[in-house]
Amino acid sequence: MSEPVTQVRFAQEADGIPNAENWQFTHDPIPPPEEGEISVKMHFLSVDPAMKGWITNKRSYIRPVKIGEVMRGFGVAEVTASRSDYYQVGDFCTGFTGIQTHGTFNSRHLRKVDASLAPLSSLMGGLGMPGFTAYFGLLDVGQPQAGETVVVSSAAGAVGHIVCQIAKLKGCRVVAIAGGPEKCRYLSEDLGVDAVIDYRHEEIASALKKAAPNGIDVYFDGVGGDMLDAVLMQINRLARIVLCGAISQYENLIKPEGPGNYFQLIAQSGRMQGFTMRDYMHRIPEAFVDLLTWQNEGKIEFREHIINGIDQFPRAVEMIFQGENQGKLMLQLISEPEA
């Protein structure tokens, strides 16, 4: 256990997008495991929009991280020492590992994973929380029917690009909204969505009219604000608007205006429904099996944006709020094991 240990701690509150000043790197040793515990080293750490919420002291679905604490984060780790009957050295596990290179945990705090099923990185993306969020948000909350029009904002993001693909699999017309030509090219050419809107270069209302000539049945909302208002004006009867957990963090950056056109929900008997993965933890296995099957059949792909080294964490957080990532953003700390 002579490897250097690095932990990223929450150092001070962030007014807007967190930057280097909001984090502190420390190098305290990790205690050896006691009875029922395991020690692990991290391979991948997920970088998520939700992080802004976790460091904001406000009513939410999870308690905020306090100043001085190791930053909350989701990771994939390898067991390096075990005093748990359930884990052996070399096993892999996932869960809230924190933003650190190593850690010691109660074994029940993490979930064992089979590293032979798929690359470890996909456990942070398509076969992890972003994939499950896309799956349940679209299918369970949005309930799209074949032939319906599904609009997805933040469509090139960690969750959005999976939503687009599941909606296509279900026979929907998919309209993807993203910022910039490279993301739009990816969505159109690589994922084969039916229409793309570059919100940085197009007027949303008229672009939506063209891209969704039969109106909008499902909107997977990754951004809120003006875009949600524009969508509301073009919803069909019984439309469903899915408010995805991830975006709630933008509220902590810029207090968004409420959707002034929400009265359209009355005229069209529409519904706007929020969710977080907390509602679906017990149903993760069904999402995992479907997503893995679709991936193995080549029907879905998971786009990953991997950056090397825990020292890049502050920069990675900035990237996610600037929309600079292409797909699921994560830090890699140790190279993938040989297959």
Q: Is 256 left (phi over 0), alpha (psi -120 to 50) or beta?
A: beta
Question: Does residue 209 belong to the site contacting a second copy (CB under 8 A)?
Answer: no
From candidates 59, 85, 282, 335, binder to a second copy by CB under 8 A: 59
**By CB under 8 A, is residue 214 in contact with a second copy?**
no
Q: How far is the CB of 14 from a second copy (least distance, A)?
A: 18
Q: Which stretch binds a second copy (CB under 8 A): 1-9, 78-86, 145-153, 254-262?
A: 254-262
- Is residue 276 part of the contact set for a second copy (CB under 8 A)? yes
Beta strand pairing call for 37-46 and 328-332: antiparallel
Residues 6+ apart with CB under 8 A from 246: 48, 49, 50, 133, 157, 158, 159, 222
Q: With binding defined as CB under 8 A, does residue 273 bind a second copy?
A: yes
- Number of chain positions touching a second copy (CB under 8 A): 36
Q: Sign of torsion, CA 216 137 97 119?
A: negative
Shortest reach from residue 17's CB to a second copy, in Å: 18
Rounded to a whole number of angstroms, the minimum distance from the CB of residue 253 to a second copy is: 12
Task: Say whether residue 243 binds a second copy (CB under 8 A).
Answer: yes
CA atoms within 13 A on the CB side of 33: 23
Q: Which of 260, 296, 299, 336 binds a second copy (CB under 8 A)?
A: 260
Pick the binder of a second copy from 187, 247, 310, 333 (CB under 8 A): 247
137 close to 159: Cβ distance less than 8 angstroms: yes
Please report, to the nearest 10 degrees, the dihedral formed by the alpha carbons of residues 55, 275, 113, 42 taken in order: -10
Q: Of these, 98, 125, 245, 327, which contacts a second copy (CB under 8 A)?
A: 245
- Pair type for strands 173-178 and 149-152: parallel
HSE of 6 in the Cβ direction (CA atoms, 13 Å)? 13
| Residue whose CB is less far from a second copy, 45 or 320 | 320
Kindly list the residues in this chain that would bind a second copy in the complex (CB under 8 A): 59-61, 224, 229, 233, 243-245, 247-248, 251, 255-276, 278-279
